[in-house]
């Protein structure tokens, strides 16, 4: 395996983006001499490579970055059926793809993974001896070692040591993670938040998920529940939620809730875009629903900003557009409910993602473990 200095170097690069040897040495508290050797070793291992040359006064500096083809990872999403299984390079590019049937039996899933793995790797021969891990995203709570699924309603699991089951069947290092947290990790490693140390990702879909990066690390919370904003009380004494409380964000602002409210109002809308279209035609019910949902999501995001002062909020969404009424109301509510001094200080970015989010997120969990080791929280 890698030495601790080598890991530290990869960690710094994955947290800050491409850097020169001199800058790396300074930020790691090492001498240029030490840096030189560590970089040489990692380059000859094929994990690092030289990219851009920066010209200034004096000898130009050469930026070092992770080599896209230096390591490969498998990502599997257990949120969909059939479950997608992808092979990702070090940049988050998907270089091969398969699907497999989803089951509720851990052993059966592990068996399927072991069966599909050679077929996946056959699509990309050079990845075989550079496969460093498998990551699996699922809906539910995962322990801090990313090994055991503490609870998953969707899969009907409770305290299932799924990572070691898969590891045993495949012989490859395996890690599992909650869906929203996996997406956050992939944004940090591969996406638009590489050089942001503190941010929260809100994944907007049928349900609402959220995960925090703090100090450059995924923060999982004491019970793995950090970021569970879906069930914060946003409308005191509001509608009952399937969790047992009332007025949870999930009952007002998730796609599921929005569609249900639309149905209850007799609107034939099957997507956010449909509802936005109705609203722009002046349909009062559609406008009311979008206002209510946008306000709720905006207030929750305002709380996120007030409580944690992140450097960025990134909203990922598979469906819909965020430049309509819903998005506008959401942004206004977010701005209106933070300290006026802070209003506008925290960028709220929305990003449409393709259907590979979960599988790519899963792969990023394996990459994260390779790069950074187990998360400290």
Partner DNA sequence: GTTGATTTGTTTATTTTCTGAACTTATTGT
Partner DNA sequence: ACAATAAGTTCAGAAAATAAACAAATCAAC
**How far is residue 310's CA from residue 144's CA, in Å, rounded to a whole number?**
22
For 233, 240, 362, 367, the CA distances from 334, given in Å and listed in that order, are 16, 24, 30, 33
Q: For the sheet containing 149-152, what is the strand order?
A: 141-142, 149-152, 157-160
Closest approach, Cβ 88 to a second copy, in A, equals 27
Burial class of residue 87 (count of CB atoms within 10 Å of its CB; 0-12, 13-18, 19+): buried
Nearer to a second copy, 84 or 227 (CB): 227
Closest approach, Cβ 264 to a second copy, in A, equals 23
Footprint of DNA on 276-335 (CB under 7 A): none
| 178 strand-pairing partners | 138
Closest approach, Cβ 376 to DNA, in A, equals 19
Closest approach, Cβ 140 to a second copy, in A, equals 11
Query: 364, 369, 367: which is closest to 146 by C-alpha?
Result: 369
Among 14, 15, 20, 295, binds DNA (CB under 7 A): 20
Footprint of DNA on 55-94 (CB under 7 A): 55-62
Closest approach, Cβ 16 to DNA, in A, equals 14
Nearer to DNA, 46 or 60 (CB): 60
* Residue 39 engages DNA in binding (rule: CB under 7 A): yes
Residue 344 partner contact from DNA, a second copy, none using kind-dependent CB cut-offs of 5 to 8 Å? none
**How far is residue 201's CA from residue 206's CA, in Å, rounded to a whole number?**
16
Nearer to a second copy, 279 or 334 (CB): 334
* Residue 52 engages DNA in binding (rule: CB under 7 A): no
Centroid of chain to Cα 370: 16
* Residue 33 engages DNA in binding (rule: CB under 7 A): yes
Asked whether the beta carbons of 104 and 117 are under 8 A apart, the reply is no
3-state secondary structure 65-106: EECCCCCEEEEEECCCCCEEEEEECCCCCEEEEEEECCCCCH
Closest approach, Cβ 343 to a second copy, in A, equals 9
Q: What sign does the CA torsion over 203, 134, 96, 94 have?
A: positive
Closest approach, Cβ 218 to a second copy, in A, equals 10
Count of other CB atoms within 10 angstroms of residue 70: 20
Nearer to a second copy, 67 or 331 (CB): 331
Nearer to DNA, 6 or 103 (CB): 6
Among 10, 15, 18, 38, binds DNA (CB under 7 A): 38
Question: What are the structure tokens assigned to 247, written together?
Answer: 């007025």
Residue 32 partner contact from a second copy, DNA, none using kind-dependent CB cut-offs of 5 to 8 Å? DNA
Helix 4-16 to helix 21-28 angle (10° resolution) is 110
Residue 37 partner contact from a second copy, DNA, none using kind-dependent CB cut-offs of 5 to 8 Å? DNA
Count of other CB atoms within 10 angstroms of residue 73: 30
Nearer to a second copy, 68 or 221 (CB): 221
* Residue 17 engages DNA in binding (rule: CB under 7 A): no
**How far is residue 354's CA from residue 316's CA, in Å, rounded to a whole number?**
10
Residue 156 partner contact from DNA, a second copy, none using kind-dependent CB cut-offs of 5 to 8 Å? none
Residue 337 partner contact from a second copy, DNA, none using kind-dependent CB cut-offs of 5 to 8 Å? a second copy
Which residues contribute to the site for DNA (CB under 7 A)? 3, 5, 20-23, 29-40, 53, 55-62
């Amino acid at each position: 395996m890698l030495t601790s200095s080598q890991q530290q170097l990869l960690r710094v690069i994955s947290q800050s983006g491409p850097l020169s040897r001199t800058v790396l040495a300074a930020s790691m508290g090492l001498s240029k001499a030490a840096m030189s050797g560590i970089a040489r070793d990692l380059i000859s291992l094929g994990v690092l490579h030289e990219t851009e040359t920066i010209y200034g006064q004096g000898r130009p500096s050469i930026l070092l970055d992770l080599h896209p083809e230096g390591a490969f990872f498998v990502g599997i999403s257990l949120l969909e059926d059939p479950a997608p299984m992808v092979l990702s390079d070090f940049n988050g590019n998907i270089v091969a793809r398969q699907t497999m049937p989803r089951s509720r039996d851990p052993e059966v899933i592990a068996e399927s993974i072991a069966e599909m793995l050679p077929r996946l790797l056959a699509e990309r021969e050079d990845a075989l001896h550079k496969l460093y891990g498998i990551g699996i995203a699922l809906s539910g709570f995962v322990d801090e070692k990313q090994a055991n699924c503490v609870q998953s309603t969707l899969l009907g699991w409770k305290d299932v040591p799924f990572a070691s089951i898969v590891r045993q069947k495949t012989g490859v290092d395996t890690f599992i993670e909650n869906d929203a947290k996996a997406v956050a990790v992939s944004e940090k490693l591969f996406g638009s938040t590489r050089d942001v140390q503190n941010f929260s990702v809100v994944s907007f879909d049928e349900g609402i998920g959220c995960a925090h990066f703090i100090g450059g690390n995924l923060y999982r919370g004491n019970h793995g529940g950090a970021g569970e904003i879906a069930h914060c009380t946003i409308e005191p004494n509001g509608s009952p939620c399937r969790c047992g409380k009332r007025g949870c964000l999930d009952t007002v602002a998730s796609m599921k809730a929005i569609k249900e409210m639309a149905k209850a109002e007799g609107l034939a809308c099957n997507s956010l875009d449909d509802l936005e279209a109705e609203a722009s035609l002046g349909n009062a019910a559609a406008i009311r629903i979008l206002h209510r949902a946008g306000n709720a999501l905006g207030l929750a995001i305002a709380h996120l900003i007030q409580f944690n002062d992140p450097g960025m909020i990134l909203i990922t969404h598979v469906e819909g557009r965020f430049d309509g009424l819903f998005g506008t109301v959401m942004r206004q509510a977010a701005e209106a409910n933070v300290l006026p001094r802070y209003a506008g200080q925290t960028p709220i970015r929305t990003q449409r993602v393709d259907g590979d989010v979960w599988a790519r997120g899963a792969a990023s969990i394996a990459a994260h473990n390779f790069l950074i080791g187990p998360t400290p929280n």
